[in-house]
């Protein structure tokens, strides 16, 4: 059975991706810093799990050593520390970049040797990579770096038959973002989306499932925004 490794799988989008890939027939290895949460995900999908901090090269190396093969790698683990740049500490910048950018680098570097022709990597970006907003600080630059890293990796691994793409979620309701949709804020945000609603983790998971499938066999080096049309722009209401 083909093996899919999903980082940040303890909740939200990562858990939904794990469920989708398991439904598609993959043997899922769910990965997260939170051992209890990722164990729960693994139980949901009848898969395996590993506790791993993607920002720690030694932790990622141990993950790689525990695996025999990888057919799909989903670099989903990510964090955000929202604040104006002027009020963002160097430690906060370092932590976001260590997880969001270096985490993708560490996992790709360590697990790509276990991948063969026909396998693929899907990185999680964000439409914030280009639609910068006040107050979210270093997060947009971190995701812009993920997109550049995606394209560079696609070029370098293409000769080995490994595809590399990214998915850029828009306004997705998860455990971590739910406070942004409470009360009237959810309806206000939905009105800004051309499709008229905010998204759910399953909306992202289904696109990851497509990119991991043979239907996307000639797709690599691309960033697919899954945001209900936000990235296309919208006339004033």
User: Is-contact 95 28, C-beta < 8 A?
Assistant: no
Please state whether 12 falls in left (phi above 0), alpha (psi between -120 and 50) or beta.
left
Kindly name the residue from 139, 181, 218, 225 that is annotated as catalytic: 139
CA distance 118 to 101: 25
Q: Which residues of 86-116 are buried (b: 16+ CB within 10 A; e: fewer)?
A: eebeeebbeebbbbbbbbbbbbbebbbebbe
- Give the three-state DSSP class for 225: strand
* Orientation of helix 139-157 relative to helix 103-111, angle to 10°: 20
Whether 26 is catalytic: no
CA distance 55 to 101: 9
**Residues annotated as part of the active site:** 139
């Amino acid at each position: 059975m083909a093996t899919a490794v999903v980082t940040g799988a303890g909740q939200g989008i990562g858990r939904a991706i794990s469920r989708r890939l398991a439904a598609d027939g993959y043997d899922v290895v769910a990965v997260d810093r939170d051992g209890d949460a990722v164990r729960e995900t693994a139980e949901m999908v009848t898969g395996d799990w590993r506790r791993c901090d993607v920002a720690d090269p030694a932790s990622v190396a141990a993950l790689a050593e525990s695996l025999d093969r990888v057919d799909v790698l989903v670099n989903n683990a990510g964090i955000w520390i929202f604040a104006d740049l002027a009020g963002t500490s160097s430690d906060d910048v370092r932590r976001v970049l260590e997880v969001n950018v270096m985490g993708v680098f560490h996992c790709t570097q360590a697990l790509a040797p276990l991948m063969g022709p026909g396998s693929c990597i899907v990185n999680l970006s964000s439409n914030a990579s280009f639609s910068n907003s006040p107050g979210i600080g270093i997060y947009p630059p971190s995701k812009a770096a993920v997109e550049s890293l995606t394209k560079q990796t696609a070029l370098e691994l293409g000769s080995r038959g490994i595809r590399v793409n990214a998915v850029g979620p828009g306004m997705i309701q998860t455990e971590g973002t739910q406070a942004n949709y409470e009360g009237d804020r959810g309806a206000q945000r939905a009105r800004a989306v051309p499709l008229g609603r905010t998204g759910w983790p399953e909306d992202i998971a289904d696109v990851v499932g497509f990119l991991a499938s043979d239907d996307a066999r000639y797709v690599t080096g691309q960033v697919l925004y899954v945001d209900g049309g936000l990235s296309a722009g919208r006339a004033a209401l």
